[in-house]
Amino acid sequence: MNAYQLSEIRRSVAFGLALVAAGCDVEAPGPEHASRGLDQPPPLLLRVEATTSYRDGDGAVPIRTVLAEGTTTYGVARSASFVLSFDRFLLPTSVARQAICLRASPEPVRTLAECAGPGQDFLEPEYDPAGRRAVFRQRPGFRLAAATAYWLTVLVPSEISPYGFQAFDGASLGRTYAFTFVTGQGEADEPLPGPGRFCAAVACSRSAQDRRDAAARCGFYADLAPLGSCAGASCHGQPSGVPGPGAGGDIAMGLDLTMDEQILWQTAFGHTAHQTQQGPAATAGGQGPARFGRAMPIIDPDNPGNSYAVYKVLAQFASHESDDPALLREIERLRESVVVGLPMPAGQTLTPAEMTNLSAWIGNGTPFACP
């Protein structure tokens, strides 16, 4: 990889942050704004997908099939991951491996305590707020038994058991869901989260013929087109062009989004967003606050669901680009309590692919260079 390619990768993995800085916050929505009000419908599980095969390329890219209640899906990979998609933003702390039960038994499961027997050995799940989905991956070296029937149950929190999915405002999943599948005979290993997987997707997308080809072969499209830096003198950047706090004048809210890893650690990574500072010790970034959004970091590496920048960008995207009514309603609810001020970036939006890439970049450890 030459210096130019490395430069392009560095810009591509951080493009979302640069765009966030295109405009500055003003004030929270007024009391008559459409986003105001109390509306906490239970989240709906839209679909569950399981890996059934892998496409070779730069790493094993999983090919997934939708599981349906009341039917049995055959040929699920023994090292399969499971993707759960919802209509609402989730409470990140509810996206835990204890929120589902996977076992080779048809007995109904209502709580985690009833999930007895071999079959469940997951890593901590990934939560992607851009897609409102949670990905459950098996631990390295663990595989489901070959040619065996399994039952996957999605749990609801209750007074008896706290484990299960909740929306960001605390509304619980309306009911449990159960899916049946039978495994195949394969031995392939599914790639795990991390910079290596992200960089493999970037490299794969470079070799793709077009966006559709990249999405099919690489898992998601990593846009490598030079977008330029929006972190200029207008808001979260240095008038002098020299990165670093105080290098060229005051920066809005002390946030410098100049694409420099050290600078981002100084001003963004783990630093509490000003608009979420509420209550005692609110300047210390929260990892699992009792109230969603309280002391939320601007960027929480490895955790896009707890990164305020993701929701600020999503608010702008939903307002101008999305034709998904569920997402539009969710943004209104989010702005009622968490995302105040103008969405970012002012006057422009990310594409769906760019939104996915921003979330994936954070979720895979915010890599700044690919080998």
Instruction: Indicate whether 56 pLDDT > 50.
Output: yes
| pLDDT recorded at residue 318 | 73
pLDDT for residue 238 is more than 70: no
Measured from the Cβ of residue 207, the count of other Cβ atoms closer than 10 Å reads 12
At 138, is the pLDDT very low, low, confident or very high (cuts 50, 70, 90)? very high
Q: Rounded to whole angstroms, how far apart are CA atoms 355 and 16?
A: 7
Within the chain, which residue ranges are assigned CATH 2.60.40.1220? 45-183
Condensed to tens digits (0 to 9), the pLDDT of residues 149-164 reads: 999 999 999 999 999 9
Average pLDDT over residues 98-109: 94
Fold observed for domain 45-183: Immunoglobulin-like (2.60.40)
For residues 218, 312, 124 and 353, what is the CA-based torsion angle, rounded to 10 degrees?
-10
Tokens of 273: 């967003």
Q: What is the pTM of this model?
A: 0.79
pLDDT per residue over 312-333, tens digit each? Answer: 888 887 766 677 888 888 988 8
pLDDT tops 90 at residue 183: yes
279 class by beta-carbon count within 10 Å (0-12 exposed, 13-18 middle, 19+ buried): exposed
pLDDT recorded at residue 258:
60
- In this predicted structure, the answer to whether residue 90 has a pLDDT above a threshold of 50 is yes
Above 90 in pLDDT, residue 256? Answer: no
**Beta pairing class for 126-128 and 72-76:** unpaired
